[in-house]
Structures are given as structure tokens and as C-alpha cells.
A = this chain, B = another copy of it.
Amino acid sequence: MEFSIRISALKPSAIREILKIPNDPDLISFAAGNPAPDSFPVDEMKAIAAKIFDTSAASALQYGVSEGYTPLRDITKKRMTEKHGIMSENDDLIITSGGQQAIEMTAKIFLNEGDAVICEEPAFVGALNALRSYGARLVGVPVDDDGMDVAVLEEKLKTEKNVKLIYTIPTFQNPTGTTMSLERRRKVLELAEKYDVMVLEDSPYFELRFRGESVPTIKSMDKNGRVIFSGSYSKILSPGIRIGFACASKEIISKLTVAKQVSDVHTNLFFQMLAAEYLTNCDIDAHIAKICDMYRIKADKMLECMEKKFSPKVKFTRPEGGLFISCTMPDGFDGAELASRAKAAKVTVVPGVAFATDDTKVYPTFRLNFSLPSLDEIERGIDRLAKVVNEYVG
């Protein structure tokens, strides 16, 4: 028995042990990527579910079409067009099983084994692994407070062979929490055109802005079908229902639909109908505003505690939205060592190495999540973490 080359490349990572969360009620987790459970509109969902069982059970429980439930596609298209200027008349939309599937299927339809993908460094590990699972060669480009370094991006586009895709989370990036500037977004698109590569704009958090001015998506500036926009209902409705979507040119959506058909036929139809009903009859924008208020308070609390308690040697980002804050220790320190010591002190963080294209190196960074813990957990957790990190960096 021999596994495929592509999947053998995805070896269990050394950091997996660190990420394993012990079942300890006293443990405080800043390691998750989960939304706050009190952000789920449970009462509305419950009422809609009962209604679907009463009026449409036979269709909600039957097979559906691979593109997704038409009313959910339509209302998602409408919102993305009217509110975010994302869809053009040449574009279409497919419902996916979470944003993750949009990334995996984009990799499947574009990448031949050995093709290069330029990605932000650091970047979301789930996306990096999806790209790796199709034999992609990952080429990292550093991220700063204004997003991807476009000078390095152009250099890589000039020198790397068989680049097919630029992978970016421009808004409230995972893990840094930072947002790419408008100027750089324009430049990314311009470079993609110039060097004839596609852009995968992964935006699971972009509606979760709790401060500052929103920046247009790269997709909204796309005139030539160069950008695949991946969105998600995970952070504004519920991640457990696994509903995301991709917007792209009709030609690309048609290929993604072929990939979707062979992958899982279609996404859970009952919850597609439930989401469509929610979006039609409830006020999703008011709901999002409520989530943003909740996350602003949590982020502010975490940042306030960090400013008070952390050694000035530890730098951290100040996100205007999303779920994450990224911390950087002085060069030479190891985020994995810090994560390991923190776990012993009953607070978990994700070490920077988890987000690297090259996981054999040492990174002085770690990621904190502020959406899941309560305000009290944030205060006590940062207290514990500060002791560990201050002792470590000296």
C-alpha cells in the first residue's frame, strides 16, 4: 500500500502536539479560530428550522444541485453586489461547504503538481495545506501592517517558475490581523494581470470590521475575471453549518461546479435553505453590527491587558476587525517554545511556525484569538501569558 505523492507531502506536523488541547476546564484557549458561541442567532435559526420541517421537509432533505440552493445563491449575489460591489455581470457564485472548500477546489481546478502559489507569509494553515495537497510549491511573501509586500511579490512573479495563483487574506489577515491597503490591493491586481496569474482573495472575516474605514475588496476592482473571491457564513451565522461561497467569472464557477459535484455533490441543503430564509427575513446587517460590537470590546480588552502586562520587547498588531492578534518576540526567540511553556501555564496560543511556508525554521511569533474567550478569560489568560512571555524574553 502506497499513498499518493500529494498526500504524503502533508505529513503530520511537529506542532500538532502543541495544538492538541487538553481536556482541562481550567485551561484558557487563545489558540482557537472559533467565533463566539453567543454570536449565533439561535432563536431565529430554531424558528426557521421548525418552519422548514413543517413546510419543505421533502425538498430540504432530498438531493440538491451542486451550484447551491438557488435562493441562497441569489440573495448572496445580491448582498455581495449591492453592499460590497463584488459581482460583475460576467461573474457567478457557487455555494461551498465553508470557505475552506472554495480554497481546496480552487487549488484543484488550477494547479498542476509542482506549480507555484505565492502566498502571504505567515498565512492561514488550512489554506496552505489545501494548496500543498495538490502538490503546490508555496512561495512566501512577507506581510506587514499594510498587507503583502508588493515589491517582493513582483520580484517573485518575475523569478519563480509556473506561478499560477496569488493567495491572500487582504482583510483582517489570519494570523496577523492586519489589513492590506487600497494601494497595495490595486498593485496586487495589476501584477496579477501583468504576469498572467490568478488571485484567490480569501475573505472569511471582511464583514467583521469593528473600527476604521472599510477598504474595497480586490474582487470589486477586478474587470477581467482575474480574482476568485472566497466568502463564508461561518463567522456571521455559524461555522458548524459549513456554508461558504465563491464568486468568480462564469467560466471558473462552471469548473468549480464540476469539482463540487465530484467532491460532495452539494452542501447540506437544509441549512442552505435555513440561511436563505435567515438572510431574507432577518436583519443580517444588524446581526453583524452586534457581533462587531462584541468583538471590539473583546479585542480592546485583550490589547489593554497586553499593553499593561507584556514586556515592551513583545510587539503586537492592533487589528480593526476579524478574530486575531499576532505577537512578535525579539529575533531568536521561538514561538513554538513559548506556546509550549504557555500550555504548561494553562493558556494556549498558536506558534508562528503553524502559518509558515517552511515549517522547519524558527519563528518568534504567536497568534492570539479574542473572539472565543470571555472578557474574564481574556483578563486571566493574558495575565498567565504575560508571566510566561516576560520570563521567556527576559
Taking each of A38, A50, A97, A234, which has the highest tally of chain B beta carbons within 10 Å of its own beta carbon?
A: A97
B268 and A110 within 8 A (CB)? no
Knowing A4-B112, A7-B258, A110-B3 are in contact, say whether A265-B100 is a contact too (CB < 8 A): yes
Min CB distance, A227 to chain B, in Å? 11
Pick the interface stretch among A40-48, A298-306, A356-364.
A40-48
Which residues of A, 48-63, contact B by the 8 Å Cβ criterion? 49-50, 53-54, 57-63
B263 and A100 within 8 A (CB)? yes
* Interface: A340 (CB within 8 A): no
Min CB distance, A90 to chain B, in Å? 13
The CA of A206 and the CA of B255, in the complex, are separated in Å by 32
* Interface: A171 (CB within 8 A): no
The CA of A104 and the CA of B5, in the complex, are separated in Å by 16
A263 and B64 within 8 A (CB)? no
* Interface: A217 (CB within 8 A): no
Our pick among B196, B241, B258, B271 for the contact of A10 (Cβ within 8 Å) is B258
* Interface: A229 (CB within 8 A): no
| Contact-residue size bin, chain A (C-beta under 8 Å from the other chain) | 35 or more
The CA of A80 and the CA of B104, in the complex, are separated in Å by 31
Pick the interface stretch among A126-134, A312-320, A342-350.
A126-134
* Interface: A341 (CB within 8 A): no
The CA of A267 and the CA of B259, in the complex, are separated in Å by 17
Knowing A45-B61, A61-B40 are in contact, say whether A110-B4 is a contact too (CB < 8 A): yes
* Interface: A240 (CB within 8 A): yes
Knowing A61-B240, A242-B267, A267-B242 are in contact, say whether A133-B101 is a contact too (CB < 8 A): no
Q: Which chain B residues lie closer than 8 Å to A30 at the CB level?
A: none
Our pick among B62, B101, B133, B268 for the contact of A108 (Cβ within 8 Å) is B133
* Interface: A34 (CB within 8 A): yes
Our pick among B113, B133, B255 for the contact of A7 (Cβ within 8 Å) is B255
Q: Which chain B residues lie closer than 8 Å to A134 at the CB level?
A: 4
The CA of A360 and the CA of B149, in the complex, are separated in Å by 50
Knowing A3-B109, A57-B40, A133-B108 are in contact, say whether A242-B265 is a contact too (CB < 8 A): yes
Knowing A45-B61, A53-B45 are in contact, say whether A268-B255 is a contact too (CB < 8 A): no
Which residues of A, 127-171, contact B by the 8 Å Cβ criterion? 129-130, 133-134, 164
Q: Which 9 residue pairs are nearest across A and B when measured between Cβ atoms?
A: A61-B238, A37-B58, A240-B269, A46-B53, A97-B264, A268-B268, A130-B262, A42-B57, A61-B240
Q: List 6 A-B contacts (CB under 8 A).
A: A32-B63, A104-B262, A104-B264, A241-B268, A242-B264, A264-B264
Known contacts A4-B111, A37-B58, A104-B263; 16 additional CB pairs below 8 A are: A1-B196, A1-B225, A4-B110, A7-B255, A10-B262, A37-B61, A45-B53, A46-B50, A61-B238, A61-B241, A62-B239, A97-B97, A97-B242, A100-B262, A129-B258, A240-B269
Which A residues are closer than 8 A to B by beta carbons?
Answer: 1-7, 10, 12, 32-35, 37-38, 40, 42, 45-46, 49-50, 53-54, 57-64, 96-98, 100-101, 104, 108-113, 126, 129-130, 133-134, 164, 196, 198, 225-226, 234, 238-242, 251-252, 255, 258-259, 261-271
